[in-house]
Amino acid sequence: MITLLIGKKGSGKTKRLIEEANAAVEASKGNVVVLEKGSKLTYDLTHKARLVDTDAYKIKGYDTLYGFISGICAGNFDVTDIFVDSTFKIAGDDKDALKAFVDKLNVLADEANTTITLLISSAKDDLPADIKATLEEL
């Protein structure tokens, strides 16, 4: 399952991600992974979550991000949840590329039995209407 937490800058998306990731850690019988650009969440997330700085791995663009997430799923069969903070800062703000990325992630999430949550700095109306994900607007 793919969920998009959407809202303009300053709407509380990152705070919501922190809450959801910490709750997922408590509920999960596997591992929870949080991808972020930089290392600003280090002290906000429980130490039980795997926090990954995408800058450390030179991740830029949707193809690279998809490959990285695929690698996480392939390397760890017990990953139950993946959260991506600041998706547009990592991959770019091309809305059509976002739709294709979400379509590929849907297949991956189903095959890996993983829930993936992306934070998107955008208004709902600015996203493609046919994007196949659960949209949670803040």
- Taking only the tens place, the pLDDT of each residue in 71-107 is 999 998 899 999 999 999 999 999 999 999 999 999 9
Total tally of structural domains belonging to the chain: 1
Output the domain CATH number for residue 80: 3.40.50.300
Q: Tens digits of per-residue pLDDT, 15-66?
A: 999 999 999 999 999 999 999 998 888 888 999 999 999 999 999 999 999 9
Three-state SS sequence of the chain:
CEEEEEECCCCCHHHHHHHHHHHHHHHCCCEEEEEECCCCCCCCCCCCCEEEEHHHHCCCCHHHHHHHHHHHHHHCCCEEEEEECCHHHHHCCCHHHHHHHHHHHHHHHHHHCCEEEEEEECCHHHCCCCCCCEEEEC
Which pTM does this prediction carry? 0.94
* Between 80 and 125, residue with greater pLDDT: 80
